[in-house]
């Protein structure tokens, strides 16, 4: 066409072109009080005031029902130290099982919401459901951030210390990457 040498990607696979995506662990809880964890690559901040984050979850996921039920969730930030547990929570459904027990991840009480935070993660955003949108075969749950905090040793006022917090980025399938901590500052 224009002489540019490209690889064609089918529209249903086009999402792979915006990966790697920062991977998060969402903790949620049912009305019965049983907590669950789901791994998500599709999550993003979407407003500063009010502070909102959006997560995209397919309706067949157990966590989808739990968030609908109790209208709260926590966005937990995992690091490479818990890569195996992060992948496990993204491959096994929590319906009828306990992913906290199976992975060894530790639930700790949150400050303002019912779902527990995940102790082994380096940061936590406690959210109350603000709104939700059907989007094709996923639902976007928008959470209002009620509380947010990070481990002191890996977060300063300017952001994460990437030497200490090896974030998990999902390339696709069972492939992940982390950042080599080299900071670039563009010229204005």
Kindly list the residues in this chain that would bind ligand FMN in the complex (CB under 6 A).
23, 36, 38-42, 56-58, 61-63, 87, 90-95, 138, 170
Residue nearest to ligand FMN (CB): 90
Q: Which is nearer to ligand FMN, 60 or 111 (CB)?
A: 60
For the bound state, the minimum distance from the C-beta of residue 95 to ligand FMN, rounded and expressed in Å, comes to 6
For the bound state, the minimum distance from the C-beta of residue 148 to ligand FMN, rounded and expressed in Å, comes to 20
For the bound state, the minimum distance from the C-beta of residue 150 to ligand FMN, rounded and expressed in Å, comes to 21
Q: Which is nearer to ligand FMN, 56 or 132 (CB)?
A: 56
Q: Which is nearer to ligand FMN, 39 or 76 (CB)?
A: 39
For the bound state, the minimum distance from the C-beta of residue 152 to ligand FMN, rounded and expressed in Å, comes to 27
The residue ranges of DSSP E strands in the chain, in sequence order, are 21-22, 24-29, 35-40, 43-47, 52-57, 72-77, 107-108, 117-118, 123-135, 138-150, 155-156, 159-160, 169-172, 175-177
Residue 13 CA: distances (Å) to CA of 5, 78, 90, 125:
19, 26, 19, 30
Report the Cα 183 to chain-centroid distance in Å.
23
Q: Which is nearer to ligand FMN, 93 or 132 (CB)?
A: 93
Q: Which is nearer to ligand FMN, 87 or 100 (CB)?
A: 87
Distance CA 44, CA 55 (A): 7
């Amino acid at each position: 066409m224009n002489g540019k040498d490209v690889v064609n990607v089918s529209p249903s696979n086009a999402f792979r072109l915006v990966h790697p995506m920062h991977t998060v662990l969402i903790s949620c809880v049912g009305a019965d009080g049983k907590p669950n964890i789901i791994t998500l690559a599709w999550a993003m901040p979407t407003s500063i005031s009010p502070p909102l984050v959006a997560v995209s979850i397919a309706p067949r996921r157990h966590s989808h029902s739990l968030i609908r039920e109790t209208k709260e969730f926590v966005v937990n930030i995992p690091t490479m130290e818990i890569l195996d547990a992060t992948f496990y929570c993204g491959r096994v459904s929590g319906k009828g099982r306990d992913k906290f027990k199976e992975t060894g991840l530790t639930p700790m009480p949150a400050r303002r919401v019912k779902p527990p935070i995940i102790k082994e993660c380096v940061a936590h955003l406690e959210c109350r459901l603000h709104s939700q949108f059907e989007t094709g075969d996923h639902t976007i749950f928008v959470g209002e951030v009620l509380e947010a905090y990070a481990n002191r040793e890996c977060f300063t006022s300017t952001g994460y210390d990437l030497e200490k917090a090896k974030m998990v980025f999902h390339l696709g399938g069972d492939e992940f990457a982390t950042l080599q901590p080299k900071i670039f500052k563009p010229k204005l």
